[in-house]
Amino acid sequence: MVLEVEVERILPGGMGLAHAGGKTVFVSLAAPGDRLRVRVEREQGNVLFASIEEIVTPSPLRIEPPCPYFGRCGGCDFQQLTYEAQLIAKAEIIRDCLRRIARLESVPDFVVTPSPDNWRYRMRAMWQIDREQRAIGYYERGSRRVCDVVDCAVLRPALQEKLEEVRATEWRQFPEGLKHLDVVQGENGVSFAPEFAGFHTSELSLTVRGEVYQFNAEAFFQINPSLLEPLIDFALGDASGESVLDLYCGVGLFTLPLARRFKNVVGVEANSAAVRFARRNLHNAELANARVITATVTDWFRTGPVGPVDFVLLDPPRAGAESVVIKGIVDLRPGAISYVSCDPATLARDLKKLTAAGYAIDSIAAFDLFPQTHHVETVVRLS
Ligand SMILES: C[S@@+](CC[C@H](N)C(=O)[O-])C[C@H]1O[C@@H](n2cnc3c(N)ncnc32)[C@H](O)[C@@H]1O
């Protein structure tokens, strides 16, 4: 079925919203203000999922996507928008989630801080590998087929170089059954997991706000280093005191600066490689007042003997915090909470529980760590 629609705005998840014949239409890769002929791919209740057949009248916010893989590659979904329009869409996505999912009556004003580089910014990636098809790149949009990518326009130049080296490696050198490769760049090189051929799981470092972080491709590190200083500054605010929890702490991005301000810090992280680095990063910084526990935050709350806590910082993966975790935080009654999130929808779901438990939102800030995609990093401070 083909329909003609006008795109009203961008929704959480990155699709354009339109209406036709009493139905809601979600259009992928659209720009607000586009007049489009769209093909309906599938129907779910009152919602039609559609793709663009023809741009009848382009939105003034639309630009020609510069990447030749755009549309097929599942990596980017905002290249059709000017960078300013991307930032506006991200602010609307956050507001939409806070109103509809968190059910906040009023959302405090906030800005989405732009990334200084909106191309060639990524210092971490996962490259999918399909040995049979001889393809290396990213999953295609909405599928598990690998889009073979020669040049990825959002990779930092050093990672792009490594992509070319990996692509030039003979297929017989790839480990049997290798499905994907994690790569991350630091100040002193690039790390790969798993290791193969001449690609090593090297240990890297990066300095942020004077703190030195060591890590490798087996542990999480943020994708876009250029906004980490303002992200840390906003997440910590002027917090200080006796005790703090840093939940989902990774290699200690927030743990180190927190350990400079609080007497006692507990970090909780499930990935043992990340915990090893977090401990080492604290040790190298001579911060003996922090300990890092290897556990899922859920398990830790189920078993952890926890005393009074002044401040909780949490930075969960996209799925957000488990119900047990939100309940555990609320039961501790910290004076302030800072929630760092890479998914506004799960953030809003969890904020609904925190506000129902009596916490109020003091301030919000967003950081565009992921240009050319609908993803955005949001920090909400509550007390
Ligand atoms: C978004 S990252 C944040 C890491 C760190 N705060 C940073 O900014 O570098 C989420 C972290 O949570 C960890 N993680 C995922 N699920 C977890 C769980 N259930 N319990 C504890 N840690 C978890 C991941 O290994 C990852 O290090």
Work out the average pLDDT over 301-314.
88
The answer on 138 and 110 residing in a single domain is no
Determine, yes or no, domain membership for 312.
Answer: yes
The answer on 199 and 57 residing in a single domain is no
The answer on 246 and 349 residing in a single domain is yes
State the Cα–Cα distance between residues 94 and 107, nearest whole angstrom.
10
Distance 116 CA to ligand 1 centre (A): 25
Q: What is the per-residue DSSP string for 326-371?
A: HHHHHHH--SEEEEEES-HHHHHHHHHHHHHTT--EEEEEEE--ST
The answer on 248 and 130 residing in a single domain is no
Q: Which numbered atom of ligand 1 lies nearest the CA of 246?
A: 6
Determine, yes or no, domain membership for 260.
Answer: yes
Distance 53 CA to ligand 1 centre (A): 40
The answer on 108 and 39 residing in a single domain is no
Q: Indicate the angle between helix axes 83-100 and 344-356, nearest 10 degrees.
A: 30
- For 111-160, the pLDDT digits (tens) are 999 999 999 999 999 999 999 999 999 999 999 999 999 999 999 999 99
Distance 296 CA to ligand 1 centre (A): 9
Is the pLDDT at 304 greater than 80? The verdict is no
Which residue's C-alpha comes closest to atom 18 of ligand 1?
296
- The dihedral built from the CA positions of residue 82, 84, 85 and 91, taken in this order, carries a sign that is positive
The answer on 266 and 168 residing in a single domain is no
Determine, yes or no, domain membership for 219.
Answer: no
- For 366-382, the pLDDT digits (tens) are 999 999 999 999 999 99
Question: Final residue of a domain: which of 206, 232, 263?
Answer: 206
- For 46-82, the pLDDT digits (tens) are 999 999 999 999 999 999 999 999 999 999 999 999 9
Which residue's C-alpha comes closest to atom 6 of ligand 1?
249
Determine, yes or no, domain membership for 212.
Answer: no
The answer on 174 and 30 residing in a single domain is no
Query: Which residue out of 248, 251, 292 has the highest number of ligand 1 atoms within 8 Å of its CB and is therefore the one to mutate?
Result: 248
Distance 141 CA to ligand 1 centre (A): 26
Which residue's C-alpha comes closest to atom 12 of ligand 1?
248
Domain of residue 22, CATH code: 2.40.50.140
Domain of residue 360, CATH code: 3.40.50.150
Q: Which numbered atom of ligand 1 lies nearest the CA of 249?
A: 6
Number of domains composing the chain: 3
Domain that holds residue 133: 124-206
Residues framing ligand 1 (Cβ under 6 A):
220-222, 248-250, 253-254, 268-271, 274, 296-298, 315-317, 342
Which residue's C-alpha comes closest to atom 1 of ligand 1?
317
Reduced to 3 states (helix: H, G, I; strand: E, B; else coil), residue 100 is helix
The answer on 232 and 103 residing in a single domain is yes
Determine, yes or no, domain membership for 51.
Answer: yes
- For 339-366, the pLDDT digits (tens) are 999 999 999 999 999 999 999 999 999 9
Is the pLDDT at 305 greater than 70? The verdict is no
Work out the average pLDDT over 290-305.
92
The answer on 100 and 56 residing in a single domain is no
Determine, yes or no, domain membership for 211.
Answer: no
Residue 154 CA, distance from chain mean position: 15
Confidence of residue 303 (pLDDT cuts 50, 70, 90): confident
Distance 19 CA to ligand 1 centre (A): 38
**pTM score, whole prediction:** 0.97
Question: Final residue of a domain: which of 18, 40, 61?
Answer: 61
Domain of residue 196, CATH code: 2.40.50.1070
Q: Is the peptide bond before 194 cis (omega within 30 degrees of 0)?
A: yes
Which residue's C-alpha comes closest to atom 26 of ligand 1?
250
Mean pLDDT rounded to a whole number for the chain:
97
Question: Final residue of a domain: which of 206, 235, 260?
Answer: 206
Active-site annotation, residues: 342
Determine, yes or no, domain membership for 80.
Answer: no
